[in-house]
Structure formats: C-alpha cells, structure tokens
Amino acid sequence: MITDYCERLIVQEVAPRDGLQIEPKWVETADKIALIDQLSLAGFSRIEAGSFVSPKAIPALRDGDEVFRGIQRQPGVIYVALIPNLKGAQRALDAGADELNLVMSASQTHNLANMRMRREQSLSGFGDVVALARGTSLSLNGTVATTFGCPFEGVIDEDSVLHIVDAYLELGMQGITLADTTGMANPRQVYRLVQRVLTRVAPAQLTLHFHNTRGLGLSNVLAAYEAGARRFDASLGGLGGCPFAPGASGNICTEDLVNMCEEMGIQTGIDLPHLLQMSRSLPALLGHEMPGQVAKAGRNSDLHPAPENLLF
Ligand code: COA
Ligand code: ZN
C-alpha cells in the first residue's frame, strides 16, 4: 500500500548525460546547451549536465567542458557532472560543475568493461578525487552501478553493494545513488535494499536510478518510495543507457514519472506541459522515436471530442 502521498519527490534530470551518451547521432554543443537551458526552466533542482570521461569511451559527450561553460545557470539548480577518475574531476572542476557524481560498479566485470579498472582501483582513485574537492564548493555523490543485477554476472550480492556504500560514506560523499544499469531490478528487491541503505543514509542523501529495460521502471520507483526513498533520476523522453552494458536501454522517462506523480498527488515542482513540449521535439533532434509514453498518449486531462451521432 502506498503510505505517504504528500511527501515531495525530487527528480534529477539525466538526459544530457545518460540520455545522450548512447545516441549514435552527434548532437551539436549548441543543441546540448539549449537542451540543458530549457530543462533549467522546467523546475528541476538537479540536472546531470554531462560527463568528463575518456572521449574515446564516450565520444558523444566529449564536449562536456564547452557545455558546462556555455549553459545559462538558473539559481537553485545544481549542475552535476559524472566522473570516473581524477582527470575527470579536475576537468569538471575547471568547467564549473557544482557536484561530481563518482561512478563504479558493484559488479567487477562491469567495472572492468565500463571503467577499465578493478573496483579497488576505482575506489582508490576516488580518494584522490575527494582530496581534490576538499576546500572547494564541490559536493560529491557516489553511484553504485549494477546494484540490482549485472548483464555479465547476473545476481549481485546485496552485501557487496552495502560495502561500496560504506566505502563511499567513509570517503565523505554527501550523496549515494543506487543504479539499475540495465533494468534488472524488481520492486520487492528494491524495497528491501532501499530499507537497508536507509539505515546508513538519510532519504535526502539517497537517489535511485532506474532503467526501464524490462518495463519495471515506475514499479520500482513506487517500491523505493514506499521504502522511504524520495529522490530519483529520470531522462526526458526515456532516453539513456550505458554503452558498455549489453542490452542497455533508456532510463525511466521523466515526463512519465512526473505524470504519474501528478495523478497520484505527489509534488515534484516540475512543469509537465513544458516537459512534454520538450520531449516532443527530441525525435527531430535525434532522428528516432522516444520510448516515453505520455508524450504520445497525452495527459489524462487531454480529452478528445466525443464521436458524433452517439445514441444516448
Ligand atoms: N577525461 C578525458 N580523458 C581522459 C580521462 C577523462 N576523465 N581519463 C583518462 N583520459 C585519457 C588519458 O589522458 C589518456 O589519454 P591519451 O591516450 O591521450 O594519453 C587516455 O584517456 C587513456 O587513459 P587511461 O587512464 O589509461 O584510461 P583508460 O583507457 O584505461 O580508460 C577510463 C579509463 C575510466 C578513463 C574510461 O574507461 C572511461 O572514461 N570510462 C567511462 C565510461 C562511461 O562514461 N560509461 C557510462 C557512464 S557510467
Ligand atoms: Zn543509467
């Protein structure tokens, strides 16, 4: 049963990062900046605006420096940069990111495929990132990728996830993200793990990052919400995916999530009509249809004229 509808849900928009990183078509820097600037006006408090990773690994986001320098920052919006290592952290700091999102996988195999490092190497590099951030205004968030399952290893032991969460907390991260990289999570599993993690971190520190690869994205949101989570990543249009995880597909779709929240009376502070308008412009930008549903179906309140000649 859904217990507490009235508590606000925070949506972090990740289309400029998770969304664009897997797109085969090059998106011009100016178009990326325009996308982020529009998102900044839609009511988000947090936007993951890009990543500072190897340009060979993710060519689509190789212009992160210019993007961060070019965006029009809105007061109250935190602009987050994903980073894998110290070099990325330095680039993000120089480009003016507000928060670094440090990423490693619970799965050793996926960490090797995605980061070309063992988990221990990722963690020890993050020690240097923490040292760099000390004395700056940067906040730090640690993401555990493949938390709920790995496309190479299958089931991930919950204790190994908690071990990374503890390591992140010891390093001094203010936020933790549990990421379901290829949509392998199910609601029961999500509920249980979120409850366990919330014995270590406050709800305001925890983000859930779901992909809708197997159609369970919004079910997992509700399970996490029930367990006390209040912050979620989502991507405009349902774009997204990790190029180093076979079978990866889009994040949960922001406008579908916001629509669900509105219908349920859960506040997000996000302007849904603005979001729908933006989402409907994505096929022209990217050259394909979006997986999101509400942009196609319309909102419940978008009524149709009744057919003529009805027999009453
Ligand atoms: N930004 C830009 N360039 C970077 C970089 C960064 N954060 N980190 C490393 N590089 C460069 C190095 O300078 C070096 O350049 P050179 O060949 O011109 O000398 C080159 O990349 C190789 O460096 P190395 O440290 O050996 O990296 P690697 O090839 O072993 O790759 C990562 C390691 C982590 C940099 C790479 O795997 C990566 O960027 N992964 C992220 C993937 C991702 O974003 N996945 C989706 C999001 S989770
Ligand atoms: Zn993702």
Q: Exposure of 293 by Cβ count < 10 A (0-12 exposed, 13-18 middle, 19+ buried)? A: middle
Please report which ligand is nearest the Cα atom of 116. 1
At 312, is the pLDDT very low, low, confident or very high (cuts 50, 70, 90)? confident
Q: Residue 22 corresponds to which tokens in the numbers above?
A: 């897997």
Q: Indicate the helix (H) or strand (E) that contains 119.
A: helix 119-133
Say yes or no to pLDDT of 303 above 60: yes
**228 — phi, psi (to 5°)?**
115, -5
Say yes or no to pLDDT of 5 above 70: no
Instruction: Name all residues whose Cβ lies below 6 A of ligand 1.
Output: 21, 51-55, 57-58, 82, 84-85, 87-88, 91, 103, 114-116, 145, 242, 244
Which atom of ligand 1 sits closest to the CA of residue 89?
7
| Per-residue pLDDT reduced to its tens digit, 101-114 | 999 999 999 999 99
| Per-residue pLDDT reduced to its tens digit, 178-204 | 999 999 999 999 999 999 999 999 999
Question: Cα separation of 202 and 175, whole Å?
Answer: 9
Question: Cα separation of 99 and 96, whole Å?
Answer: 9
* pLDDT recorded at residue 240: 98
Say yes or no to pLDDT of 299 above 60: yes
Mean pLDDT, the chain, rounded, equals 97
At which residue do the structure tokens 């990773």 appear? 53
0.95 cut: is pTM over it? yes
Residue (of 224, 233, 174) closest to 48 by Cα position:
233
CATH topology of domain 11-297: TIM Barrel (3.20.20)
At 6, is the pLDDT very low, low, confident or very high (cuts 50, 70, 90)? low
| Per-residue pLDDT reduced to its tens digit, 46-70 | 999 999 999 999 999 999 999 999 9
> Ligand 1 centre from 287 Cα, in Å?
28
Do residues 83 and 58 lie in contact, with contact meaning Cβ atoms separated by under 8 Å? no
At 31, is the pLDDT very low, low, confident or very high (cuts 50, 70, 90)? very high
Residue 102: count other Cβ atoms within 10 Å of its Cβ.
25
Please report which ligand is nearest the Cα atom of 101. 1
At which residue do the structure tokens 């270590």 appear? 200
At 159, is the pLDDT very low, low, confident or very high (cuts 50, 70, 90)? very high
> Ligand 2 centre from 210 Cα, in Å?
7
